[in-house]
Structure 1
Amino acid sequence: MTTTYLTLLLKHFEQMQIEVAAAGETEIGSVPLKPRETVYDKSRFLYIRSGRGRIWIKGREEELVPGILGILLAGTPHRIAVNPGEVLNVQWCHFHTSYGDREIYKALNLPYTVQVGGKAEVSSLFDRLIEQMAAAKPTSNLRVKALMLELLSVYLEHLPPEGQGAAPTQELQKIDVVLQYIDEHLADNITVEDLARQVFLHPNYFIMFFKSLLGHSPIQYVNHRRMEIAKSLLMMPEINVSDVAARIGMQIYYFSRMFKAHTGLTPSRYRKQALEIASACADPAEEA
């Protein structure tokens, strides 16, 4: 279910609006007392710059070593301990989102921590994030959001292979069935009732279930997939525009109108421009 896994992740993070509340760098020394459990009302990014320790999250213990990048949702109880004789240098930021993320984390079993490569690069992202938070320039908010998206990208790029660890949740299994059905029936007249029937849910509940994971209504997602498939088909010169429309189950006039709304170009214009770009990119390699 790799395609489903990536689809859900990317759709989620594409729509997630991020607002950073604070960012900084902290040194934590080892203490003999049992560390106190902490709960924040903001989500947290943690990056271990140096030192070694451990973190307990909902009863699970994980090692903290240089290069560990962690993400904790708001309201997640956790506690951190530092190994004897060590000092843990932690870069962090607190943020919240306007797009619900708890359900997607639950459905995909996303890990709390990942081991990342390019340690200097990741640490630099936090340095720049802290700098921009302190600068308070007119463009600081835009730069902060861009840096957060980079950090999220680093996290996503270092996720373990899907299927490693816990078995797919029931939610993921259900949405996988639905997404496969959509891709196999794009040429048909797909209804919400058809999709709900695949996973034995009432249509009204199914709409809420689907939107909680994909961020779109089922029909919005179906139309989006049709446009994405159409773009791929338009890159094949042997398939005319009418055939493209037929393959995704749309009348030519309606397809042309929706495609232009989606891309800003008519199907014919999109094909011409995309093929010209592809040809221009291929020419240097052919000359070499």
Structure 2
Amino acid sequence: MTTTYFTILMKHLEQMQIEVASASETEVGAISVKPRDVVYDCNRFLYVRSGKGRLWALGKELELVPGTLCILLAGTPHRVAVDPGEVLNIQWCHFHASYGDRDIYRTLNLPISVWVENKSAVSQLFDRLIQELKKDQLTSRLRVKAIMLELVSMYLEELPKGIGKVYPTQELQKIDTVLQYIDEHMAENITVEELARQVYLHPNYFIVFFKAMLGYSPIQYVNHRRMETAKALLLQPECNVSDVAARVGMQIYYFSRMFKAHTGLTPSRYRKQSLGIAESGTDAEPGAGAEE
């Protein structure tokens, strides 16, 4: 289930449209009245640069210490409090992220917070984000997105081991079943009807469900997995190109064409370059058996 969890998350991030609305750094001090819950229509990243405090969200109380990185999804009531004598320095950003009409983050049950070891790296990313948002340059939006993806990557790297195994959602269980079936039957002719049958869904609904979760149609994903599997197999000395094509369920001519479209290289050339083998001859388009 953990592999499925990260597969879905990675596909989401690859295709995610992200827009940062604002970012800044704020000092939070103790107040005499009880803090109220706040709710935003955007997602929030909060990072504790210094100081101590507490965060209440989703019925949980979390300690905020330097290195704490929190993600609060849109519509999540939450509040931050600081004890008397303490000052909490928080770097934050508000952002919108789109991925079809399915709330992938909630489906995956992402934890509210993680603790990052490389505190200075995270803080520097927020500093850069704040500065880029102040600029009016054509490239600023690209740099902002790159910074956000780096922040998300740091958050993901600190996720607890085994996440996705605890209380997996029904959607995750279904996708896990389908992805396992694809990997176990890659050498066979895989159809949408057969995949839908694994999770007792009508093929038409299954296509919509699958694409919403992974960003690919089922057959696009099958072909993508075949190419990624082929790349790994080509690095094994005992596997020639014909063997690899058979193991991913494709005729060699069609396999070679699709592999070159996927990587820009024929299977033979990919193997030689990856293994550091000196090339000879030309990289001609192969016919049946021409890649041997």
- The verdict on a shared fold, with TM-score over 0.5 as the criterion, is yes
Give the letter for the 1:99 counterpart. Y
2:27 counterpart of 1:4: no
- Please name the residue that 2:181 is paired with: 181
Give the letter for the 2:208 counterpart. M
For 1:176 and 1:184, how far apart are their aligned partners in 2?
Answer: 12
The 5-angstrom pairing of residues 18-167 of structure 1 reads 18-100=18-100, 103-163=103-163, 166-167=166-167
Kindly indicate whether the alpha-carbon contact (under 8 Å) linking 1:103 and 1:213 is maintained by their aligned counterparts in 2. Answer: no
- Please name the residue that 1:286 is paired with: none
In the superposition, relative to structure 1, how do residues 81 and 67 fare at CA in structure 2: closer, same or farther (>3 Å)?
Answer: same
Cα offset for 1:194?
Answer: 0.8
Give the letter for the 1:227 counterpart. M
- Please name the residue that 1:268 is paired with: 268
Cα offset for 1:210?
Answer: 1.4
Give the letter for the 1:224 counterpart. H
| Number of aligned positions between the proteins | 278
Kindly indicate whether the alpha-carbon contact (under 8 Å) linking 1:109 and 1:166 is maintained by their aligned counterparts in 2. Answer: no
- Please name the residue that 1:284 is paired with: none
For 2:201 and 2:85, how far apart are their aligned partners in 1?
Answer: 56
- Please name the residue that 1:283 is paired with: none
Kindly indicate whether the alpha-carbon contact (under 8 Å) linking 1:45 and 1:71 is maintained by their aligned counterparts in 2. Answer: yes
Cα offset for 1:230?
Answer: 0.6
What is the alpha-carbon root mean square deviation over aligned residues? 1.9
For 1:135-178, what per-residue CA distance to the aligned partner results, in whole angstroms no more than 9, with x for missing partners? 32332222211111110110000001124884222221211111
In the superposition, relative to structure 1, how do residues 98 and 105 fare at CA in structure 2: closer, same or farther (>3 Å)?
Answer: closer
For 2:32 and 2:191, how far apart are their aligned partners in 1?
Answer: 61
**Structure 1 stretch displaced more, 39-48 or 79-88:** 79-88
For 2:110 and 2:101, how far apart are their aligned partners in 1?
Answer: 11
In the superposition, relative to structure 1, how do residues 101 and 94 fare at CA in structure 2: closer, same or farther (>3 Å)?
Answer: farther
Give the letter for the 2:15 counterpart. Q
Kindly indicate whether the alpha-carbon contact (under 8 Å) linking 1:256 and 1:267 is maintained by their aligned counterparts in 2. Answer: yes
Give the letter for the 1:98 counterpart. S
Give the letter for the 2:141 counterpart. N
Q: Which has the higher helix share?
A: 1
Gaps of 5+ in 1: 279-288
Kindly indicate whether the alpha-carbon contact (under 8 Å) linking 1:21 and 1:94 is maintained by their aligned counterparts in 2. Answer: yes
Kindly indicate whether the alpha-carbon contact (under 8 Å) linking 1:37 and 1:78 is maintained by their aligned counterparts in 2. Answer: yes
In the superposition, relative to structure 1, how do residues 73 and 30 fare at CA in structure 2: closer, same or farther (>3 Å)?
Answer: same
For 2:62 and 2:102, how far apart are their aligned partners in 1?
Answer: 21
Kindly indicate whether the alpha-carbon contact (under 8 Å) linking 2:108 and 2:164 is maintained by their aligned counterparts in 1. Answer: no
For 1:91 and 1:189, how far apart are their aligned partners in 2?
Answer: 51
SS in 2 for 1:74: coil
Kindly indicate whether the alpha-carbon contact (under 8 Å) linking 2:234 and 2:244 is maintained by their aligned counterparts in 1. Answer: yes
Kindly indicate whether the alpha-carbon contact (under 8 Å) linking 1:36 and 1:79 is maintained by their aligned counterparts in 2. Answer: yes
**Structure 1 stretch displaced more, 77-86 or 117-126:** 77-86
* TM score, norm. by length of structure 2: 0.90
SS in 1 for 2:89: strand
For 1:106 and 1:218, how far apart are their aligned partners in 2?
Answer: 22
SS in 2 for 1:25: strand
In the superposition, relative to structure 1, how do residues 277 and 9 fare at CA in structure 2: closer, same or farther (>3 Å)?
Answer: farther
For 1:68 and 1:110, how far apart are their aligned partners in 2?
Answer: 15
* TM score, norm. by length of structure 1: 0.91
SS in 2 for 1:95: strand
Give the letter for the 2:240 counterpart. N
For 1:92-141, what per-residue CA distance to the aligned partner results, in whole angstroms no more than 9, with x for missing partners? 11111232486322232110111111111111111111111113233222
For 1:43 and 1:258, how far apart are their aligned partners in 2?
Answer: 39
